[in-house]
Homo-oligomer: A and B are copies of this chain.
Amino acid sequence: MSRMSAIDTAALPGDTEFDRGTAVTGDPGEPGRYHADLDGGWRIGGGINGGLLLATAARALSHELGAGSGHSDPYSISGYYLSAARPGPATLRTEVVRRGRTVSNGQVSLTQAAQDGTVTERLRALATYGDLDRLTQDVRTSAAPPEMPPPDRCVGADQAPPEFLAQADLLHRLDLRLDPACVGWALGAPSGNGTIRGWLRLADGRRPDPLALLLAVDALPPVTFDLGMLGWTPTLELTVHVRAKPAPGWLLVSHSTRNVAGGYLEEDAEVWDSAGRLVAQSRQLAAVPRP
């Protein structure tokens, strides 16, 4: 991958592709309202990636809930996807639902206006925010990270089938190395296990943080690929629990499904940081690809 040389800079959050892609600007005319400009470089399939969209909405809530109380980290956020977001301007309206001592709650709605002025809602989300630095250090996690070869022995996403890469602009922004055991689908031989896992970092070396975890849980190819269903799986709902600030370095992301039925599936993701901590868990309800 051509961007490897940039990785060592380990860019801090700030002027990076992810930070520009999720940037929001407060509207001086209306408290709680923000503006964003969605970048086509984060497209996948028919629209802007759902994780990137959720991270953008979460950034607006982080500003609103962080002010005063310091509750600027998402503990839990549930995004309901209403229509595919397109590259271009978007408006976010936030509402502080409850300010608490240890956690606060917020709601955010992301809309886009068409040329004719018609406004369409893309995403609505509810969330609980807090301060991850204030959590206790008591970690009794019983889950263990999956066994996986090191990144340099995994399969770069740039080796995916051209027809997949063509509809996945966001892969150029990511350094994604898939476990060889989960890439049979690219060769026409899916494992049938319903799992996809890989190492993930941002291509420009930007360090992971809680907002980047919201992208990480939705950045791998859909788990349905491993079941031989190579189509688009639109997300209806995605809930992410961010459980700790990730250590710098590679993230290990593992996706699985147990219940493909009736035209829908759940997709669970676990994200482990370089220190071996389970930093995020997510589940989404998605539609099975149409044959």
Contact = CB atoms under 8 A, between A and B. Distances in A.
Interface residues of A, number: 51
B281 A236 contact: no
A283 interface: yes
Contact of A239 (B125, B136, B283): B283
A59 interface: no
A236 B141 contact: no
A258 B141 contact: yes
A266 B260 CA distance: 22
B262 A139 contact: yes
Contacts of A82: 97-98, 105
A259 interface: yes
Nearest to A103: B236
Contact of A105 (B124, B128, B136, B137): B124
Interface in A92-117: 97-98, 103, 105, 107
Contact of A135 (B107, B137, B263, B281): B263
Interface of A: 75-76, 78, 80, 82-83, 97-98, 103, 105, 107, 121, 124-128, 132, 135-143, 193-194, 227, 236-237, 239, 241, 243-244, 257-264, 266, 277-278, 281, 283, 285, 288
29 contacts: A76-B80, A78-B78, A78-B239, A80-B97, A80-B128, A82-B97, A82-B105, A83-B98, A98-B121, A125-B126, A126-B126, A128-B285, A132-B262, A136-B263, A138-B261, A141-B261, A142-B194, A142-B257, A142-B260, A241-B266, A241-B283, A241-B285, A243-B259, A243-B262, A244-B261, A259-B281, A261-B277, A281-B283, A283-B283
Nearest 3 CB-CB pairings of A with B: A135-B262, A143-B258, A78-B78
